Amino acid sequence: MRALLLTLCLSLLPACVMKSTYLELEAVAASTEEELQARITSLDQRITELEADLVGKNSVIDRMTRDLTDAKALIGQLKREKGELQREKAGLVDDKSSLGAAIEEMERALRELDRRKQAAEGRVARFRDMLERFKSLIDSGTLRVKIVDGRMVVELATDVLFDSGKASLSPAGVEALTEVGAVLQGIPDRRYQVEGHTDDVPIKSAKYPSNWELASDRALTVLRAMVDGGLDPDRISAASYGEFKPTGTNETDEGRAANRRIEIVVVPDLSDLPGFEELQKL
């Protein structure tokens, strides 16, 4: 550095520069060199400090970068969990709606079950009431009360009421049917159908070409006897089944005797049947 300054000074001075001037210049150069060296040393220290600070800042940047990466990963995970929770919530809402509908359906079913239970208990009570009302006739063997196809039926053997092949009532038959009519009249809000049945032994006469006509005439005779006994005529009807609805076998005398019968059916009240209210709306 010194040589450079001296060379610069000498190049600017005339060749006749005095030695004293040279020495002064050399002293200035030396001083300047020291200042420059001090500045260089200071700058080197500053550079070292800046480099250390840069290393620290780079470390902080690296840490923040890692934290940012972790934060992004965490945000992504939270977003996925949020989506899963939203889907689960939607599923729970659907389940709640379905559960509410199921509860309503169950409540309707329970109400319907309770209504049917009450209706069944009512039918049992009416059946017991009818058994009690006909107790004397049941005990005497004149008739019996049974359930057929869900209907209450009062059954009378035609052999007690009629002679073979006839439709005229015996005195005992008139007495029994008069009592039956009075009992049925005492049961409010009920209608009845008298059904005539025969065995399969064919009958063919001018008056009764087949068992249809015989069973029909007997059913009408029973109907009239009960009306005469006090039963309102608008509460009773008659039907004939001939030999086509046997209650037992026609292969034995006992079976044929059981098939020759009069059945007085308690006509079901449609308002007691399930679905009646819905049918009324159609």
Can you give the CATH number for the domain in which 224 is found? 3.30.1330.60
In a domain, 81, yes or no: no
In a domain, 196, yes or no: yes
8: pLDDT strictly greater than 60: no
Please give the mean pLDDT across all residues of the chain.
85
Number of domains in the chain: 3
Residue 29: which of 21, 116, 162, 100 has the closest Cα? Answer: 21
Are both 142 and 240 inside the same structural domain? yes
Are both 139 and 163 inside the same structural domain? yes
- pLDDT in the model for residue 272: 58
- pLDDT in the model for residue 265: 95
In a domain, 185, yes or no: yes
61: pLDDT strictly greater than 80: yes
Are both 120 and 47 inside the same structural domain? no
DSSP state of 18: -
41: pLDDT strictly greater than 70: yes
> Last residue of a domain, which of 70, 100, 133?
133
Q: Give the Å distances, CA to CA, from 120 to 116, 154, 269, 272.
A: 6, 19, 13, 9
188: pLDDT strictly greater than 90: no
The letter for the amino acid at 3 is A
Instruction: Using pLDDT thresholds of 50, 70 and 90, give the confidence band for residue 59.
Output: confident
- pLDDT in the model for residue 197: 95
- pLDDT in the model for residue 184: 92
56: pLDDT strictly greater than 90: no
Are both 195 and 254 inside the same structural domain? yes
- pLDDT in the model for residue 219: 96
Are both 194 and 178 inside the same structural domain? yes
- 195 or 31: which leads in pLDDT: 195
Are both 116 and 163 inside the same structural domain? no
In a domain, 238, yes or no: yes
Q: Are 181 and 190 a contacting pair, CB within 8 Å?
A: no
Domain that includes residue 101, residue range: 91-133
In a domain, 69, yes or no: no
What three-state secondary structure class fits 153?
Answer: strand
Are both 46 and 121 inside the same structural domain? no
Are both 125 and 139 inside the same structural domain? no
Instruction: Using pLDDT thresholds of 50, 70 and 90, give the confidence band for residue 54.
Output: confident
In tens, the pLDDT along 137-179 reads 899 888 899 998 888 999 998 888 888 888 899 888 898 899 9
